[in-house]
Structure 1
Amino acid sequence: MKLVIGVTGGSGAPYTLDLLRTLKKLQVPTHLVVSEGAKRVWETEGTQSIEELLDLATEVHDDRNLAASIASGSHRTLGMVVVPCSSSTLAKVALGLGDNLISRAAHVTLKERRTLVLVPREAPYPRPMLENMLRAHDAGAVILPASPGFYSTPEKVEDILAFLTARILDQFGLDSGGMQRWTGK
């Protein structure tokens, strides 16, 4: 089964790229959906072309295609990650709206009680965003902000990205081997 990856217009292209590279290395097949907003943000902050992102996925879907396989609960998946998750997409998930493929696939993931991980990157969080995080959490989503830990003493940006990727994949029972785990003192 494939893991669904939604990419929305929040800042955080390096997180998405690291996740997809890791999934490819682990041989985990993916469905990828990239919003128009994400494509615009990617151009401004991505050091790689959007084509590299698309090439890392097993299957790519148009965000406007509400008839795609992942828009139906009968199409089985491992679950879904939205990384980065824009505040707009968070609100849609929190309210159960499905007006594009990313929000529809997230809705399907929740209704089928599969794991849905939302990775907001924006900060600070205004009250409506906090309320939407709580609503999405109460509906069954995992809210996993892009907040890396530093107890592993990262030496480069790639170490920080690997930490977040490992935390995301932990939610699906997958071990990327990309982070030093806390062992206590």
Structure 2
Amino acid sequence: MSVGTGRLVVGVSGGSGIPYAVSVLRALRELEVETHLIVTSGAKRVMTAEGGPSLADLTALASVTHDDRDLGASVASGSFRTDGMLVVPCSAGTLAKVAGGLADNLLSRAAHVTLKERRRLVLVLREDPFPRPMLLNMLAAFDAGATIMTASPGFYHAPGTVEELLHFVTARVLDQFGLDVPGFRRWGEQ
């Protein structure tokens, strides 16, 4: 249930695809949404391995950044009101934690709180193919109230750049929160 705070928690876990997180954070900044960023240690390793955006690039786009080890952070409590949370990219490990109710770091605790408070939680998976345990975890997270998405862009808008592909996924993810990303062309629109 949305409380209309204009505030979202953005988790970044260790799945490949950190550019999706950058795209989402840029869009939320343009939309003047207050963002509370949590980056896992796995995500930090992926950033280094992929040679893409740095931790400084991500934190510069967020309103507030929380240490993933700080289980006493504001976003760890249900009394801290938000309009929900998204995890982009969401690794298979983070999905398993959410599906099983394991809250051993701030990202998984914030996701647990989001579900507990019946706020919108969107998990954007990037890994594939999906083995059976991952499919079962997707179903368990869905049954708990999460929305499961994949970072799978459409092509009906004839993208010409990687940025346009990222923009498509960003717009679809933020649609889940009722946010309209400028420049997103929907099916059937000119």
Q: Shorter-chain-normalised TM-score: which range?
A: over 0.9
**How many angstroms apart in 2 are the aligned matches of 1:159 and 1:46?**
20
The whole-number CA distance in structure 1 between the counterparts of 2:53 and 2:70 is 26
Q: Please tell me whether residue 97 in structure 1 is matched to residue 114 in structure 2.
A: no
Contact persistence 1:78–1:114 (CA under 8 A): yes
Amino acid in structure 1 at the alignment position of 2:83: L
* Superposed CA offset, 1:93-127 (max 9, x none): 00111010000000100011100000010010000
* C-alpha contact 1:165 1:178 (8 A) present in aligned 2: no
1:51 aligns with 2:65: no
- Asked if residue 16 in structure 1 is aligned to residue 21 in structure 2, the reply is yes
Question: 1:22-73: per-residue Cα shift (whole Å, max 9, x none)?
Answer: 1111111100000001001011224332201111100000001111111011
Give the Cα separation in 1 of the matches to 2:164 and 2:82: 28
Match of 2:12 among 7, 10, 13: 7
Equivalence for 2:139: 134
Residues 183 and 135 of structure 1, relative CA distance in 2, 3 Å threshold: same
Gaps of 5+ in 1: none
Residues 13 and 46 of structure 1 are in contact (CA less than 8 Å); yes or no, is this contact kept in structure 2?
Answer: no
Could you tell me how far apart the structure 1 residues matched to 2:93 and 2:166 are?
23
What's the C-alpha RMSD, in Å, of the aligned pairs? 1.0
**Corresponding position of 1:106:** 111
Deviates more, 1:170-179 or 1:127-136: 170-179
2:168 corresponding residue in structure 1: 163
TM-score of the two chains, using structure 2 as the length reference: 0.94
Identity of aligned residues (%): 64
* Gap runs ≥5 in structure 2: none
8 Å contact from structure 1 (residues 163, 178) kept in 2:
no
Work out whether residues 75 and 110 of structure 2, in 8 Å CA contact, stay in contact via their aligned partners in 1. yes
2:46 paired with 1:41 = yes
Q: Which amino acid aligns with 2:90?
A: C
Alignment check: 8 A CA contact 1:166 1:178 kept: no
Query: Which structure's residues are more often strand, by fraction?
Result: 2
Alpha-carbon contact 2:19-2:53 (below 8 Å) kept: no
1:43/1:50 contact within 8 Å kept: no
Q: Tell me the matched-pair count.
A: 184
**Which stretches of structure 1, 4 residues or more, deviate above 2 A after TM superposition?**
46-49
What letter matches 2:121 in structure 1?
A: L
Q: Confirm or deny: 8 A CA contact 1:9 1:36 kept in the other structure.
A: yes
1:65 aligned residue (40, 63, 70): 70
For residues 107-161 of structure 1, the C-alpha deviation after alignment (integer angstroms, 9 at most, x for no partner) is: 1000111000000100100000000000000100000111111111111000000
Say whether residues 1:29 and 2:34 are aligned partners. Answer: yes
1:146 aligns with: 151
Instruction: Give, in whole Å, the separation in 1 of the partners of 2:53 and 2:71.
Output: 28
